[in-house]
A and B are shown apart, each in its own frame.
Chain A
């Protein structure tokens, strides 16, 4: 009996992890396998029919709308990532390193609340604010300013996407900065480093994995988003998510829609791996 104790002690954490593994198997791995399998199926009379047909891949990958949407969605997600990192970092820096403990907790709560409110609702609210007859233009009119075409372009799209990404990115960066060894900053300052030098040579390298995680998260959210491109640009032009919906709408082409979905997942996985590699290199150097 005494010999059993260490084994049990080791097995318990693994056993506790089993539900999560089962959950991931049932709701991520299996659907993913189905998604890949369906890309080879056919649609006849609006019904899915099992087959092994490479035609869906060929049709989608060589189609101009797909290629254009791929480039466009990549650009949009990249810009959204850069914008949210640039806007989030100063805020995260102030929250993590400048505020008192009490004020910090309050600001973190402020950032968490928007994550739990409906994103679709917020996108619709932006529509009301930005539209030609909307809140902002009414205010412009009252102030004697000219009317502005705010809805239906890059500006409105990125406002929508930032609504989605900014709180999350700010939180990740805040936690990364809170977790860094602050004596490093003090030491650098004592040794005569300027504020810019501290930021570039001490703070940023110290939170590099956090920066990577924040950037990948922003890219992932913007790349897959459906609501902002539909409701704030009128699908003009369509992103890959919109293309998935269009593909299903016209002729129930679930297999071709799955090809787009699998391609998107592959791109996101690639982005994730690249960022992992970039942050891992740093670990080796240290």
Chain B
């Protein structure tokens, strides 16, 4: 018996090799090599026929999506897959520098993409450029603030994140179970601008402020449960989410809205990059061009289960012409108060990864908050 169990260091190192070769996050390379398949690593739902059917028909190809939830999982998938597994990756802007540092994405030629059509604020979006070279093209964005139940709160009652600490909110503050946007909003409420670039003293203060919310907490929710807890009244306030959740619910009749409190909100930004080493760079480029074209942008903004803002001005115009009601609810109207007003007023901070602490430190604080 003892002869069969190798307790040496080498035994431990060797014993799991087969498992390492078969981890579930790997993408099937056999499928990846098909010439007519564009392999797309993206948040869920982004290969919905609503978004990609026209592109597939025009280019006689198929968009195959490998879905991930959250930047950490995206990095895990791309790190664990053989080179050539993916052609295009859609990522949140704050993860791009990690993709760039690990040499996963190609430099792009700015002339290939309609950047001059974007709002001037987004033409040279800081998180997409490294050493004045372009690595990603913005496809959509949105704001995160404080989402609330409109039957319980009037807008003026939630004009500050302080509403979460009021007795009225005891046991009714829900959280999206992701440290980054949740702690970002608490950091804003502590007066930190930018919210993710804070020194140790401010980080300690953030920790205390976060922990003081525990008695108010209803729960820490997965994406699906954010929707259901807002809808069924389990949570009345949720910081760190936005219209990507509440707009769809509201159109569906739920009494919910999102506000950017006085302390400010956070912008999330999605962009597309070409994965290094792809043999299908041409098709990948066409896919990014299609997504940032006016038509692609309109589809991106109006997908039923995930409404977004878009950076392309011709996209806004086409939306106003073809779906005026959608342009109104999405606040994407050039001649009316619109989503760019918040940005221009300086009320929105970029979502970034922690600048002065390790990601793990923030994650540990989040885990502790949950377990309190």
Contacts and interface: CB of A to CB of B under 8 A. Distances in A.
A41 B79 CA distance: 17
A186 interface: no
A251 B229 CA distance: 27
A89 interface: no
B201 to A, nearest CB: 22
Contacts of A48: 16, 20, 23
B371 A65 contact: yes
A236 B79 contact: no
A63 B363 CA distance: 13
A235 B14 contact: no
Given A38-B16, A236-B219, A252-B76, 7 more contacts: A47-B80, A68-B371, A131-B228, A149-B171, A235-B220, A235-B370, A250-B179
B234 A37 contact: no
B76 A46 contact: yes
B221 to A, nearest CB: 6
Contacts of B233: 131-133
B80 A249 contact: no
A40 to B, nearest CB: 5
A127 B220 contact: no
B372 A237 contact: yes
Contacts of A252: 72-73, 76
Interface of A: 33-34, 37-38, 40-41, 45-48, 50-52, 63-65, 68-69, 72, 127-128, 131-134, 149, 151-152, 230-231, 233-238, 243, 246, 249-252
B15 to A, nearest CB: 5
A37 B234 CA distance: 42
Contacts of B262: none
A149 B235 CA distance: 11
Nearest to B78: A46
Nearest to B75: A46
A245 to B, nearest CB: 10
Given A234-B234, A250-B72, A50 B370 contact: no
Nearest to B363: A250
A46 to B, nearest CB: 4
Contacts of B368: 64-65
Nearest to A53: B12
Interface string B220-232: 1110010011011
A47 B19 contact: no
A41 B11 CA distance: 12
Nearest to B360: A251
Interface in B153-175: 171, 174
B72 A249 contact: yes
Given A131-B234, A246-B367, A236 B12 contact: no
B359 interface: yes
B371 A37 contact: no
13 contacts: A37-B12, A41-B16, A45-B79, A48-B16, A50-B17, A65-B368, A127-B228, A230-B225, A235-B370, A246-B177, A249-B72, A252-B72, A252-B73
A46 B179 CA distance: 18
Nearest to A149: B171
Interface in B324-372: 359-360, 363-364, 366-368, 370-372
Contact of B80 (A41, A46, A236): A46
B371 A231 contact: no
A46 B23 CA distance: 12
| Smallest CB-CB A-B distances: 3 pairs | A234-B219, A132-B233, A131-B232
Nearest to B219: A234
B15 A33 contact: yes
B91 to A, nearest CB: 14
A37 B23 contact: no
Nearest to A124: B228
